[in-house]
Chain A
Amino acid sequence: MDCDKIEGAEIAEKYVGGGLSEVEAADFELHFLSCQRCFERVQLLQDMQAVLERWPGRSGRWVGILAIAACLLLAAGVTWLRLRPASEPAAARATPGARPTLNLTALAVVSPPRYLQPRWRAAGPTSFDVAMLRYSNGDFAGATPGLLVAAKGDPGNSAAGFFLGICYLMQNRDDEAIAQLKATIALGDSPELEETHFYLAKALLRKQDVPGAIAELRHAVAVHGPRQLEERNLLESIVREARPAK
């Protein structure tokens, strides 16, 4: 059996879903330890599984009610968009909560910024270092308490403030993320300033605060940092999405 046949027999799907016998699973594991193609298939399926398990409205009896509420909100938003004055600029017209669209949801997807651990430190690890080890491990909830301690212990520590905001964002604690990122921006110029504006824009997009997101992206672009192109593209996409339907 070659990799095409493995794919045809949906072995990877069965493996991810726990549908193989112990012997079959062990054999397949030994195979994908050396086969990049089959491993990538397994990895993608597992990533999808992880995302779909947390998919909004996945199950439960409230799903129907929430779906109806979402439809009503969407309909209200669309009606409002169609009835508003035509001379007003599109972006300025977009008010928080007015137009929750699928595409804006996609634009609000957040990928956490990487943190590079310093290779060497003269002193022992601080609470920030320990928290960032957890952060680097994808454990955003575990990193939060340590970052809180670091941020409170040194209110001027923009890195602690910034990554604390990111941790909130990754836990879908959007209001806390917004407050934290705004507080970090209020510290003034810092190495994290550009990214703080960028992620604040993402957080505001999640709250469907389109004008707020646009304003933050403009601040981010003005820093002329390494994310500039990404910020410009996102800004254009948001403005395009916020444009009224013809």
Chain B
Amino acid sequence: MPRAKLSFPPMQDANGEESAGLAERIFAGDRNAEAELADLYGPRVFAILCARTQDREASRDLLHDALIGILKALRQGELRDAEKLPAFVAAVARNIAHTHLRGRTRARLSQPIEEAQLASPSHGVAFEAAEREAQVRQALLQLDKTDREILLRILADGQKLAAIARSLGMSQEAVRQRKSRALKKVTEIVKGM
């Protein structure tokens, strides 16, 4: 069956102007702008790496490489259109993930940027992820056991709703509703923490 093509709204670009400014400031040698870029895009790059590699541990290391790659390119003025920074960031993240998946030796992008200066961009991201995981764990403990089982099968085991419905003796719609409810509940609990 042909898949319906998905389309997403154009970027509202709340960050657009900011992104362009950031790229220009980094090119001009503004170190504060580098920290801002890491804060703004680090968590999103981490999300892309996690989704692409399905390996959270590896993504922690890859995030560092991705941010170094982005900063190096921006310092050297390799991004011609500063407004395309988000697309550039996404492309670098994808390339790093694909390189990792192909099992290539990771090229360490060390020069001309000193490791010591670039050791910091990815710190907060992975650490905050560990903090969030602790909160999510707490929220999941408050779910009904069956709801948690449904989420576990979908998110951790990658099972389809139909298979879950069969094994739990429920309708597919019931599983879908329980899943949506459970996701909503976890979201609310985590937001309330």
Contacts and interface: CB of A to CB of B under 8 A. Distances in A.
A29 B134 contact: no
B16 interface: yes
Contact of A106 (B14, B50, B87, B141): B141
What does DSSP make chain A's interface, helix, strand, loop or mixed? helix
Interface in B94-128: 94, 116, 119-120, 122-124, 126-127
B126 A138 contact: yes
A110 interface: yes
Given A30-B90, A49-B155, A117 B51 contact: no
A9 interface: yes
Interface string A1-34: 1110010010101011110110011111111111
B167 interface: no
Contacts of B127: 112, 114, 136-138
A58 interface: yes
A48 B50 CA distance: 12
B152 A52 contact: yes
B155 A137 contact: no
Interface in B154-173: 154-158
A111 B131 contact: yes
A133 interface: yes
B146 interface: no
What does DSSP make chain B's interface, helix, strand, loop or mixed? helix
Contacts of B187: 44
Given A47-B132, A55-B152, A106-B142, A34 B12 contact: yes
A35 interface: yes
A109 B138 contact: yes
Contacts of A51: 133, 136-137, 140
A58 B51 contact: no
Interface string A87-98: 000000000000
Contacts of A25: 51-52
A58 B140 CA distance: 14
Contacts of B6: 1, 9, 11, 20, 24, 27-28
Interface stretch (B20-28, B39-47, B74-82): B39-47
Nearest to A49: B155
A30 B19 CA distance: 13
Nearest to B140: A51
Interface of B: 3, 6-9, 11-16, 41, 43-44, 47-48, 50-52, 54, 56, 60, 64, 86-87, 89-90, 93-94, 116, 119-120, 122-124, 126-127, 129-138, 140-142, 148, 151-152, 154-158, 183, 186-187, 190
Interface of A: 1-3, 6, 9, 11, 13, 15-18, 20-21, 24-36, 39, 42-53, 55, 58-59, 102, 105-106, 109-112, 114, 117, 125, 133, 136-139, 170
Given A30-B86, A33-B86, A102-B141, A139 B126 contact: yes
Given A52-B156, A133-B123, A138-B127, A30 B135 contact: no
A27 B131 CA distance: 29
B151 A34 contact: no
A33 B41 contact: yes
A49 B12 contact: no
Given A18-B54, A46-B50, A49-B156, A33 B132 contact: no
A1 B130 CA distance: 33
Contact of B90 (A29, A46, A138): A29
A233 to B, nearest CB: 13
A137 B123 contact: yes
B60 A105 contact: no
A52 B11 contact: no
B156 A1 contact: no
Nearest to A8: B180
